[in-house]
Amino acid sequence: MSAYSILAKYYDRLMGDFDYDGYYEFVKDKAVGEGVDLACGSGEMTLRLAAGGAKMIGMDVSQPMLSLAAQKSKKLALDVKWINMDMTSLQLNHCAHSITRVCDGVNYISQGDLAGFFDRVYANLKSGGRFVFDISTRHKLEKVLGDNLFCEDYDDLTYIWSNELGDGYVDMDIDFFEKVEGNIYQRLEESHRQYVHDTDVLERLLEKWHVEKYDGESYGAPNAKSKRVIFVATK
């Protein structure tokens, strides 16, 4: 089954330990004015930016994720426009002040499609606008996730996440065992592929931008064991 068609239902629970508030504090002065949050998922960062005063569009290829995001914005009375679109097909009616893509969405883009994606982002940004995105690093994908198995058990759900390291990518298969009633569970499956991107390669592809890099946990300088690297690219 396609990525995030099932995961959407449980995404916020499984991402419960991600420090959205800390990430927002880092990005809030870099994503101002009219902004677009690509592959926005359930809208956690989009909504924080909107609450901080940015005029936001949230864009995602997964309709279930967008539906969840729209429910949140309605509950919070935040005016966010939600668009069902693949980020690699980005086309805005007018250029944005900022474009964001947090939580390793760029790892879903193959090496051969990256240059075209960056060109689309560049074309849809105002002069002086910023593109803020992050990647899961080679260290994380190969040494932390790699050929490993992870599982989590809740009262109503058990999931098993198995990874297979390939040549320049990691395939991720997730099995969900969802409690129906009593001791009866239904099994649901979906698959993801994330590509390995080296920071020096990304910098070459971003040569027409002014680029700064940060560690995704400390927000200081990245190092060889950084699991996430944030790029702030200014047009």
Q: What is the mean pLDDT of residues 57-67?
A: 95
Would you give the end-to-end CA distance of the chain in angstroms? 37
Q: What is the mean pLDDT of residues 61-68?
A: 94
Q: What is the mean pLDDT of residues 50-72?
A: 96
pLDDT averaged over every residue in the chain: 95
Q: Is the pLDDT score of 6 beyond 80?
A: no
Tokens of 137: 């690093």
Percent of the chain with pLDDT over 90: 89
Q: What is the pTM of this model?
A: 0.94
Identify the band that residue 1 occupies on the pLDDT scale cut at 50, 70 and 90.
very low
Per-residue pLDDT at 182: 87
Instruction: Tell me the CA distances in angstroms from 90 to 20, 86, 185, 186, 234, one per residue in order.
Output: 24, 7, 39, 36, 18
Phi/psi at 23 (5° precision):
-65, -40
Instruction: Tell me the CA distances in angstroms from 84 to 30, 52, 58, 78, 162, one per residue in order.
Output: 24, 23, 9, 18, 29
Q: Is the pLDDT score of 69 beyond 80?
A: yes
Domains of the chain as residue ranges with CATH: 7-137+198-234 (3.40.50.150), 140-194 (2.20.25.110)
For 130-184, what is each residue's pLDDT tens digit? 999 999 999 999 999 999 999 999 989 999 999 999 999 999 999 999 999 888 9
Per-residue pLDDT at 62: 92
